[in-house]
Structure 1
């Protein structure tokens, strides 16, 4: 129910396919690693206690920078819509 509320809040479809929900959850957990180590000041060792270490090609090239809430919201919605349209084809 919480996920549905979040989707509605951002103008997204309230229901998504289970496979997509699983991918979103995985991406969220991987993102938490980058947020913890690059924005919140966690060491990699501390982050590993809570989040999976990203082990995919190009992970080391991902660099986060602090941004305003509105800038992140716009970027998130634009990327989500792009990916969602690809899936619906």
Structure 2
């Protein structure tokens, strides 16, 4: 994978960290509808609604997380997803 095709992702709930690592792509349940974030995306700040965050990590493994209301912030290949509640829904089989 070429340099620049990975972003740092941190998913945090109000009371605990949910997931942290490097990812190739992330889909989030934005208020305006599902939003995809790829490395080198333009900076964005958006509100989230209850739903599922799915991501593909740097090893091409898929992960899903159930989240409640919150927001995302993306800039300089760093994505922060801050939610009221969040938990792992499904993780890739190793």
TM-score range normalised by the length of the shorter chain: under 0.3
Query: As a proportion of its length, which structure holds more helix?
Result: 1
Q: Highest relative contact order (Cα 8 Å, sep 6+), 1 or 2?
A: 2
Structure whose alpha-carbon radius of gyration is higher: 1
Query: As a proportion of its length, which structure holds more strand?
Result: 2
